[in-house]
Amino acid sequence: MYLKGSLKSKKLYLMLFFVVVNSVLGQNIPANKIIENNKLSKYLKSDVKKVIGKKVSKSDLADYLKQKFSERYFYDWKNVDKRFKNYKATYPLAEKSHTERAEDHMRKYDDITNWVLPFSYKNGKPVNAYALRHLARQHKMVDIAYQYHYQDKNPKYLSYFKNQLKSLNTALDIDKYEKIEDGNGVYEAFRSGYRVLNWLHIHNLFLGEVNYTKEDQLTTIATLLQHGAHLFERNQKFHSGNHQTRGLSALAMLSILLRDFEGTDKWYDHAMDLLEQHLRKEINEDGFQFERTVHYHMSDIGNYYYVYQLAKISKIAVKPFWKEKLESLFVSLIKIAYPDKYSPVLSDDTDEPWAEKNNISGALTLGYLLFESPEIGYFSNKQVESKMFWYASEQQLEMLKNINSTIPTMKSVEFPITGYYIMREGWQVNDKMMIVSAGLDDKKPDHQHGDILGVQAMANGKVVLPNYQVRYSLKDLELFKNSMTKNVALVDDELQGKQYKSNKGGSGFGKFKELPRPTTISWQKDESLDVFVGSHDGFKNIEVDYSRQVIYLKNDLWIVKDNFKSNNLHTYKQVWQGHYSLEESPNLIRSTFDNASGLDIYQLKTIDNVKTNGQRGKQWSVVSKNEQKNFSFITVLYPYKGYDNRINETQKMLKVKGWKVNSSKWELAGNDPKSLSKENDEVFFSVKQIKYKKDKFSFSETADVFMSLSDGKLTIQNIGDQEVSLSQNKGKEQLLKSGSKLIYNISLTIE
């Protein structure tokens, strides 16, 4: 009897345990099976049951939820026909794309398809991992839903959606779907979250259609509830990265739209709590998304936008912290913007393979809808991107007809945590802008490229120093992620990215196990010049110390100085992206553009050779200095407009934008010193001593300095990579750190 009692007690204990666990997790709704339509009402909250009636029929429940979607979703399904007519008029070119994508999907997959590899397309060719991931996202199912409306509501498109959704439910029921641990999980947070976003939109597009029966509607609702339960169950703890963020965004959306069901309040609290953690941990204090790419930065904007917008529609209070962080994402895009309102390509930007800049206007248009900032309005379009048309209210769309716009006032700015430094002339279309990449995320550097201390630049309306977008499925991904397609310095045959490895899922995505760790030594912004100085450890394995100085002589030109030190002989290199002619090489190479502008890259120190190479229509030039222990490239980057304004090496006194090269009136001593001089400003490299008549300034170490004389005051700024001591006429030495200045009262006139 005791034994039987003990077993009963244990069974009772286990039952109570699972009840408690389910209660804590909020898992009244099952995660691994679809609730039958006739049982859905059992999962409703008690107060909802009272509203609907004592006995909730399937018909009553479908009607109730249909009305709630009308009130809660981004747009009212009752106005779909009118809204779709507006969509067609606003985006007349979209139909061709939607048709091609819809036909592509339907041509490849049966409506009742498989969800686990291996299986084949309808033409017999095998489906690969990359394709399965996109099938799981169901993004082309949205195009199929549009085709229904384009094609006079042809029911085959509606039936295709219903059957494909049911085929996934069948796969779940018989346990034949790709699992998370395989790397291609159909219910993995990113793919499941993406699918929820798409299916919610499709559900709302079809809610007013006769052929989308009440049974169909409830099946979709039951499927979405299972997705929510699964997302909740599998995302209990914080995991860094956009995959979980996408899943949590979908979970929050489901909890808002389907808040009539028991347990969804816990979904909401949990999703918002973890999303807040992502906002705190993954949106750096300087406002940039931690993965350091424009693509994933804008992707996160979408993730948070959907939740923030739905909460506003339902008048659900969201913490002020959300608004601050979300707004910072939009302001960050303004800070990095080129004068033509696009942005540089930063690491894994993937929308347009090999493109040299990013279109950020769509994301900033959403920012204007949310915050109505005139500076954000400057970048906004008169209409949202076609894919976001359905996620903006009628009032917001009307607002875009009269955008309040103000040109930004910010110029040179920095992201000290993320590691981006922007040198900006202004916002006119021909103004110059350069960005230095000097960061490495310590948590998830998967999307970063081999471009540590690399630069990109625009001038005269052209990207003069480009970087290139990539695509995971392309065989050239590793090439375009690594250093040979960046504006960086290299040693021998070493690239920055080491031990590249594709992911086990086989989707094409790959990452480097090792990238250089950067250090920002100094960053200074002034009226006359901006100076960035940094180093990285990417060549420690071959015992080479490396640093880079980037100097912007305001409104005129840039200088890049690359410093290498070693006890052994090496070949030192710079890589410059672009199509360069080599008539004046090796010390001058030139790119030209169709608006009579160009970029001259001029070496102040003699180099040995230049070699060009390229792929996919992109080219780059590699300048080299061979068999050296210590060497510094001192490189003038001069963007010019008009043939007569180029660098002319035949001049007796070489001038670049008014800067005289190696023609200073100061006497220079040092290690092969170089100079640029313009009026009362001087830039000196590798000087140990500078002297004019009776005035002499001595440095404890060979130094790089900027010097300006004005109203009897001589300002000397250290633009080098190390601190030095400076003395005037054998006076007391004063410490001059990298980036810092000393000012001397001096009765000196340069004749």
- By residue count, the chain amounts to 751
Residue 614, exposed/middle/buried by CB under 10 A (0-12, 13-18, 19+)?
middle
* Interatomic CA distance for residues 449 and 344, integer angstroms: 14
Query: What's the pLDDT at 739?
Result: 95
If you average pLDDT over residues 356-364, what whole number do you get?
A: 97
Tell me the pLDDT band of 23, cut-offs 50, 70 and 90. Answer: very low
Is pLDDT at 503 greater than 90 in this prediction? no
Q: Which residues pair with 524 in a beta bridge?
A: 531
Tell me the pLDDT band of 748, cut-offs 50, 70 and 90. Answer: low
If you average pLDDT over residues 507-517, what whole number do you get?
A: 90
**Residue 1: CA atoms inside 13 Å, Cβ hemisphere, count?**
0
* Interatomic CA distance for residues 206 and 144, integer angstroms: 12
Q: What's the per-residue H, E or C state across 36-69?
A: CHHHHHHHECHHHHHHHCCCCCHHHHHHHHHHHH
Tell me the pLDDT band of 653, cut-offs 50, 70 and 90. Answer: confident
* Interatomic CA distance for residues 663 and 673, integer angstroms: 11
The structure's pTM equals 0.90
pLDDT tens-digit profile of 416-459?
999 999 999 999 999 999 999 999 998 889 999 999 999 999 99
Sheet with 570-577, strands from edge to edge, namely 489-491, 570-577, 618-628, 609-615
Residue boundaries of the structural domains of the chain: 283-408, 413-645, 662-745
Q: E strand or H helix at 335, and its extent?
A: helix 320-336
Instruction: List the structure tokens of 25.
Output: 């997790």
Is pLDDT at 709 greater than 60 in this prediction? yes
pLDDT tens-digit profile of 124-140?
999 999 899 999 999 99
If you average pLDDT over residues 714-721, what whole number do you get?
A: 96
Q: Range with the lowest mean pLDDT among 276-290, 298-312, 640-654? A: 640-654
* Interatomic CA distance for residues 723 and 743, integer angstroms: 16
Percentage of the chain exceeding pLDDT 90: 89
Task: Work out the mean pLDDT of the chain and round it to a whole number.
Answer: 93
pLDDT tens-digit profile of 50-97?
999 878 999 999 999 999 999 999 999 999 999 999 999 999 999 999
Is pLDDT at 383 greater than 50 in this prediction? yes
Query: What's the pLDDT at 60?
Result: 96
Q: Which CATH class is domain 413-645?
A: mainly beta
Is pLDDT at 26 greater than 60 in this prediction? no
Tell me the pLDDT band of 3, cut-offs 50, 70 and 90. Answer: very low
Is pLDDT at 110 greater than 50 in this prediction? yes
Query: What's the pLDDT at 19?
Result: 42
